[in-house]
Amino acid sequence: MMYGGPVFDMARRQFELVADYLDIPVDERERLLLPKRSIAVSCPIHRDDGSTSVFQGFRVQHHLSLGPTKGGTRFDANVEIGEVAALAVWMSWKCALAGLPFGGAKGGVAVDPRTLSRRELEAVSRRYMQEMLPFVGPNIDIMAPDMGTNEQVMAWFMDTYSMHQGATVNEIVTGKPVHCGGTVGRREATGRGVAHLVAKAMQRIDLRPTGSTAIIQGFGNVGSVAAADLAERGVRIVGVSDKNTAYHDPAGFDVAALIAHVEQHGELAGYSRESRVDAAALLTMSCDILVPAATERVITEANAAQLRCRILAEAANGPTTPEADRILAERKGDLFIIPDILCNAGGVIVSYFEWVQDLQRYFWSAEQITASLRGALDRSFAAVTELADREGLSMRDAALAIGIQKVKNAKTTRGLFP
């Protein structure tokens, strides 16, 4: 089995638990879980010093039963095929839960983008898309940003694909700049969606934004936008971190100043000396809302019992391991978890809007995007909480059950091609 490693193992164990609940016959499970296609490529580039480096790239297309596949592209030194496959699987359940006509996909290049010059980053981006040309397309597989990639990288992807086609093909990627066929609201969509769902969770547990506190792990696109949106709602942001630095201040941070600092320096380091704390300790500090917005497997059996938040809003994909889930389940009504495939779905929902607009060459207003995003998130939140309440399921199992059931229904009805 080529899909190994701790992250794919997590996706498999979550799936098996829910497959048991849904009574999915054992012989149908591999058809649902195992990716349809996985592509591994080598991306050679010229370095600025004249030498050549080769970076390994991947793309996993999980299932093709509901439409083209859709998913982000991650640039990170630790990217490996098992992780990419797990992220593709989660994308499938996420898209199905939100009612989008996509299977899940994910891609990645094993490179730390911070070690590249801008020219080298462009070279890796273009080379990766060049290598993927035979396997992607607006009706086959549509890419988007993820950790380590951004609007600029999406513009290079789109340009590389378009140069090959001989015409501009905006609909090949989402998360592009607005002036290159992107949509208003996409860059902010994931973080704003997180804040919107946190507000709904607060209503459920009778917590008011004013006077509440939040800690955000990861201060990139998702974490910084979620922090700013929560702050606008009156929540005090008492902790933030990125890969190298963690800060805590009970008085709360000026989020706009943090964002300005990161825009100027590329990271949180240097913002403050007196607020520095240990990054691992930040997750277990007291707060009302904990938002992991960085990477997988940060809430584990080692720290789950020490979490002191009331709401765990999973902005990152896969931040909580199944072992941690078991520990958190013991807190029953005392901790409200917004699981990743619901919590961060705002990104792919607005990506879907971007794809539709690009296909139609007709663009929506910011008001239309915001209202449609909120409507889609509200419907998913209502469906998940209703199933969780009715069946006594955790929010995670309820969200996964809805997504997995929808994919299963499509596969069963379409049948197995001989």
Q: Is 316 in the site for ligand NAD (CB under 6 A)?
A: yes
Residue 315 CB, nearest approach to ligand NAD (Å): 6
Select 303 or 331, whichever has its Cβ closest to ligand NAD. 303
Tell me whether residue 70 is one of the annotated catalytic residues.
no
Residue 83 CB, nearest approach to ligand NAD (Å): 10
Select 24 or 79, whichever has its Cβ closest to ligand NAD. 79
Torsion from C-alpha of 264, 266, 272, 277, nearest 10 degrees: 170
Residue 368 CB, nearest approach to ligand NAD (Å): 19
User: Which distant-in-sequence residues (6+ apart) come within 8 Å of 85 by Cβ?
Assistant: 3, 8, 11, 35, 38, 60, 62, 106
How far from 403 is each of 95, 323, 357, CA to CA, in Å?
A: 7, 22, 25
Question: Do 223 and 291 form a contact (C-beta atoms < 8 A)?
Answer: yes
* Residues 197-236 interacting with ligand NAD (rule: CB under 6 A): 217-223
Strand ranges of the sheet holding 236-241, from the earlier edge strand across to the other edge:
246-248, 236-241, 213-217, 289-292, 311-313, 336-338
Alpha-carbon span 395 to 403, nearest angstrom: 12
Select 181 or 239, whichever has its Cβ closest to ligand NAD. 239
Instruction: Count Cβ neighbours within 10 Å for each residue of 333-368 and write b for 16 or more, e otherwise.
Output: eebbbbbbbbbbbbbbbbbbbbbebbeeeebbeeee
Select 24 or 315, whichever has its Cβ closest to ligand NAD. 315
* Residues 330-389 interacting with ligand NAD (rule: CB under 6 A): 344, 347
Q: Residue with structure tokens 């497959």?
A: 19
Among the listed ranges 4-12, 202-210, 239-247, 354-362, the one in contact with ligand NAD (CB under 6 A) is 239-247
Instruction: Supply the DSSP symbol for 173.
Output: B
> Checking phi first, is residue 318 left (phi over 0); if not, alpha (psi -120 to 50) or beta?
left
Of these, 141, 242, 358, 397, which contacts ligand NAD (CB under 6 A)? 242
- Give the DSSP H or E segment for 355: helix 346-360
Question: Do 376 and 192 form a contact (C-beta atoms < 8 A)?
Answer: no
By rule CB under 6 A, what string of x and - marks binding of each residue 133-152 to ligand NAD? ------------xxxx----
Of these, 65, 174, 190, 357, which contacts ligand NAD (CB under 6 A)? 190
Residue 145 CB, nearest approach to ligand NAD (Å): 5
3-state helix, strand, coil in the chain (%, to 5): 50, 15, 35
Residue 374 CB, nearest approach to ligand NAD (Å): 17
Among the listed ranges 129-137, 287-295, 328-336, 364-372, the one in contact with ligand NAD (CB under 6 A) is 287-295
Alpha-carbon span 202 to 208, nearest angstrom: 7
Residue 347 CB, nearest approach to ligand NAD (Å): 3
* Residues 80-119 interacting with ligand NAD (rule: CB under 6 A): none
Of these, 315, 349, 377, 384, which contacts ligand NAD (CB under 6 A)? 315
Out of 70, 94, 106, 176, the active site residue is 106
Of these, 243, 331, 374, 411, which contacts ligand NAD (CB under 6 A)? 243
- Give the DSSP H or E segment for 215: strand 213-217
| Site of interaction with ligand NAD (CB under 6 A) | 145-148, 190, 217-223, 241-243, 279, 293-295, 315-317, 344, 347
